[in-house]
Structure 1
């Protein structure tokens, strides 16, 4: 049993001190995932990779009854936590109180690029919820690849499937989501 799996078992049994031992072991990987996801966002993003990692980690370790089978399961939960944080931020930004549909204009640039990433994230999240009801495995691949930034090879390893299956499922899920997002527009 690896160090991460051992510590996850300790956390599951209620050892709160074990969560302090976990962060140094998984921080670099979580930071890489968060940085990859945030690199896809538009310039001017206010959420930093470090903040995303810390918020996701706090949510994961403050869960009253965590149950992670292994390192891969933990990273899948981390990807889901990051996705939810990004969706919450997108929803918050789209509220009138936080600027609503106003777009940030960087000076001296003329205008921000077309296509608000907040709207895109919300549309993908809505479609992803529908996909999860229809095909949970395909939805999990989208969460890990699109929201957590894992490569499809890494997604295959985390989910215990071959590289070819991960690519095939990604192709299906991407096509399904595109169809759903376009039909909602």
Structure 2
């Protein structure tokens, strides 16, 4: 499907045309599923799974507040942002939950699993905070990191989602990783 066809269906959805929402879901669901799988591979946060991430992301993407989506590229960029929000919200909730647990009643294996999930949750929230700082210095690099790290898009998919050249994405990704490495060490 071309970007123009996607944009036409998206416009129909915004106008309330019958059947456009079902068509939109059919068009984006497999892509969202693939992106979510990439992002959640090796996930140790606990119960956050591909389906949950897709459903929460989709609900946010088609909410009345998100009706400003302009194109397929814009949709997938927003999907990467939404997935970042969902995953980081989930990580923060895990951290809050851990602060209320009575550790004396937990088994050793449950504590080890919880500890792994907390380490991952703290890491994700630190990356999220660092990304906020990066966005203040270089918005384009922050957008590339959102697509690559949080949505799990390839360099090529990121280039399409952000309407940039592949070489620009590669350059900004390299610079952003260097910046984040230095920032995370501090």
Same fold (TM over 0.5): yes
Match of 1:129 in 2: 132
Name the counterpart of 1:18: 20
- TM-score normalised by the chain length of structure 1: 0.85
C-alpha deviations, 1:111-137, integer Å up to 9, x for none?
Answer: 765981101110010011111121111
Higher helix share: 2
Shift of 1:66: 1.2
| Aligned residue in 1 for 2:99 | 100
Q: Which 4+ runs in 1 deviate beyond 6 A?
A: 101-106, 108-111
| Equivalent in the alignment of 2:56 | 55
Unaligned 5+ segments in structure 1 are none
Alignment of 1:24-173 (within 5 A): 24-42=26-44, 45-64=46-65, 66-95=67-96, 98-100=97-99, 107=109, 116-173=119-176
CA RMSD of aligned residues (A): 2.7
Q: Which has the higher contact order (CA 8 A, sep 6+)?
A: 2
Give unpaired runs (5+ residues) of structure 2: none
Aligned residues: 180
Cα contact 1:38–1:48 (8 A) shared by 2: yes
